[in-house]
A and B are shown apart, each in its own frame.
Chain A
């Protein structure tokens, strides 16, 4: 067990720090959270700066346009950018963390050449068309249909909880290409398509979250034509491709956020000392326990990254579910504690922590609810029998 970084890793860190210190002051002011076009421009502008500096797609394979960095270097990148207060991956989330890695691992050379460079350059935004009104946690029950018509699939159905749909150029879309029957169980017969969001027949209806913002949308598909050439992976093999995508989502997507939570915890302590709430021993102890919690989650992240590195940097293991379960609840507890620190100020929507407290409610639901994650841990790691 070794927690020290190599000379090479430390010089990578130093170079990154120096670049961040030089670059961050040049960034334009952050846009209003409700201004989607503004957010897109801001997030993609940041991606372009990363690209120009050689930090785009750091962890992607070299033949996919990435830098082929080790998982440890990627960890350092996420740690340092978060510490420096650099912009979050934002609108580029799906492209950089889900669709891109999936295409890099499952796509043809033509598909990689078409879709990967614009993600890295910050030219194209992707959204995720997985969930449906009747297929959220039970994703295999999805009903959006795709028929073959010449060189196209014709797609009809609807998707929901589609983040960034309003400003996306592409959608990683799961469709049913063979109906469920006795011969075709529901997780078979699914295909993974790259759908252009400007195709005729697509209607995007933004959904308002309990925080008041429009983070995600419903997407209605009425005989949308998607070229067969846009299918990633074999026809009816989309479930396996999707599992690749989801393991990326659950494996490394939260690294920077753990760093952010530790920073917020320090800010909570400073605020409590200032406003007198620190005299409350119950609150103090709560913050102390959260410190232990986030410290351990950071170490668990390093454990998982090292495991991935030993496995050759491939798809992260299902251990990501263990992390996600604990982290999503810890983050909610962090913002509950923020409510305690703020006192009456916790009811002020003008305070960042109030908005963050509201946003944190999605963490135990998004990317697989905690209940589903517990089933995954129980069945796939502990080997308990399937059931209901």
Chain B
């Protein structure tokens, strides 16, 4: 047993972080958030495709990178840190089924939890979207449609292609959890940095226990979620993935809220990036397996 990142995994993590820092940094995030109408950056999508982002799990003999679920999780964690917009998970999962998805030439989205993200921008849509109604999405970087009926989980449609089986749905949950984990880690860092820089009463607010304890709990939730997400990526076990999604959703949502609190009044403004993390965390928590269902499933397995 050696439950730590391998050298190769660390290198992959660092490489993806560098790629995203260069191509979708904080300034790009602001520009996208302030644009009013979110549109998918097709050039970025193609660059991700060329870098092997979408073909990571496609076997090498089929032209992919041939890596496993743990590596996919590390990559999606970085996407979550950078708050990279777009239907990343659906396109990733379609890489072997839909022509052009692996290369980043085709954008794929899917119905999940009664929602469809990026419907108008997608080239291929999995699931039944008849009667889809646009929402004024809470997340300025994720356009959303609602679909009628009670479509739970990942593309719960009979028309869904074979790739979207229960296994794909479970994988989707894990990759969403990985994004949530990245976001939780990022908001923890943002809170800590702000707590060190911001002074009140003549000293940095990070020296006050009330602020310290908020930050400590952010780290604790993130690290517990990290252990769950990484382990689930190694075992691929359905129940473990369900638990990982539950804990990562919580780490991301509560982390963003606590980060906002640490930022004080500034945290309540549009200018602070923290609301973008909170809103995306809400969207991700609504996609895939929601908390109530996750808890019921885990209870049933006891």
Contacts and interface: CB of A to CB of B under 8 A. Distances in A.
Contact of A1 (B6, B206, B208, B240): B6
A328 to B, nearest CB: 11
Interface string A344-388: 000000000000000000000000000101110111011111111
B82 to A, nearest CB: 21
B9 A1 contact: yes
Nearest to A309: B2
Nearest to A292: B243
Contacts of A384: 192, 195-196, 206-207, 211-212, 215
Given A296-B224, A374-B213, A377-B219, A302 B247 contact: no
B298 interface: yes
A292 B246 contact: yes
A340 B130 CA distance: 45
B5 to A, nearest CB: 6
23 contacts: A1-B3, A3-B234, A4-B1, A5-B1, A268-B302, A284-B295, A288-B297, A289-B246, A291-B243, A291-B298, A291-B299, A292-B294, A292-B295, A299-B227, A302-B231, A306-B1, A325-B220, A326-B224, A374-B213, A374-B217, A378-B212, A387-B207, A387-B209
Given A299-B231, A371-B209, A385-B207, A307 B4 contact: yes
Shortest 8 CB-CB distances between A and B: which pairs?
A: A387-B207, A288-B299, A288-B295, A292-B243, A269-B302, A378-B212, A288-B298, A296-B228
Contacts of B217: 325, 374
A259 interface: no
B213 to A, nearest CB: 4
B4 A303 contact: yes
With most chain A CB atoms within 10 A of its CB, the pick from B206, B233, B297 is B206
A288 B203 contact: no
A300 B3 CA distance: 9
Interface in B198-235: 203-204, 206-209, 211-213, 215-217, 219-220, 223-225, 227-228, 230-231, 233-235
Given A266-B302, A296-B225, A384-B207, A1 B5 contact: yes
A30 interface: no
A171 interface: no
B31 interface: no
Contacts of B220: 322, 325-326, 377
Interface string A1-25: 1111110010000000000000000
A310 interface: yes
Contacts of B1: 2-6, 9, 72, 75, 302, 305-306
A58 interface: no
Secondary structure at the B interface, as helix, strand, loop or mixed, is: helix
B204 A385 contact: yes
B292 interface: yes
Interface string B186-197: 001000100110
Nearest to A281: B296
Interface string A290-325: 011101110110110111011000000001001001
A307 B5 CA distance: 10
A158 B272 CA distance: 53
A1 B301 contact: no
Contact of B299 (A269, A297, A379): A269
Given A1-B234, A303-B227, A288 B296 contact: yes
